[in-house]
Amino acid sequence: MRMAESKAGFARMFADTCIANEKFLMSGSRGAYQEVVELVNDSIDQLVLWVKVWKNKGEKVLSRPVFFYVNNVLLPFSYAIMCDLLIGNIPACYMELRFMLEALAKCYIAEASKSGTFFEIQILSLEKYLSEGKVSLSNVLREFGNMTGLKEKPLRLWKKISDLWAHLGGFVSRVVDHVIETGRPPLYSLILPMEYTDADLPLLNELERDIGTFREILHEALSKYRKELM
């Protein structure tokens, strides 16, 4: 069916779906909803910490790659995951989570390299080095894990998301597996926004665990950063 203009407007359809999904999440998958809410709260808390540092150390702290990450990646993308969760767009939640993890690793490494005095110079210098040296993202995540003491934890999460959501083969397998298990394709592979059903609970529980793992990585990495690099 082709889309047609609605008297109520598409925004009303999105709003109604969000309300229905929030009720479903609060009753059937409260853990996933809470993890996303806490991820948003983490981003707010981190920004508040940076404001305090700014007041104590001056404006030069605003030029750091990790500040750029907190203000321009962590905060808006945390809210983006919440929005996509409410419309049933689980694949987008994972793509945003993957970007947040990659950006955290790169901004952390860029600042540690001390290759400039402004975040743009430091981040672009790192990107140039990675491109010219043909350094894979998996090696970047591995190096980030070594620098922060997290070892293989960031790489494992990044690889899982990449294999299952960022690459076509993994996405196809997820759709087919869902059809085999439930007798129907996942609604996110057909149309959005969509309302959750009980068949989506395993996927929501998985998202809960993966966001929880990212939050652990975020807390441990930024705690080490404040002790050693700030």
The range of the structural domain enclosing residue 36 comes to 10-228
How high is the pLDDT of residue 1?
45
Going 88 to 100 to 136 to 213, the CA torsion angle's sign is negative
**Residue 3 belongs to some domain of the structure:** no
Give every residue of the chain whose pLDDT is below 50, as ranges. 1
How high is the pLDDT of residue 62?
76
Global confidence as pTM: 0.90
**Residue 4 belongs to some domain of the structure:** no
**Residue 1 belongs to some domain of the structure:** no
**Residue 159 belongs to some domain of the structure:** yes
**Residue 44 belongs to some domain of the structure:** yes
User: What total number of domains does the chain contain?
Assistant: 1
How high is the pLDDT of residue 5?
60
**Residue 192 belongs to some domain of the structure:** yes
**Residue 160 belongs to some domain of the structure:** yes
**Residue 113 belongs to some domain of the structure:** yes
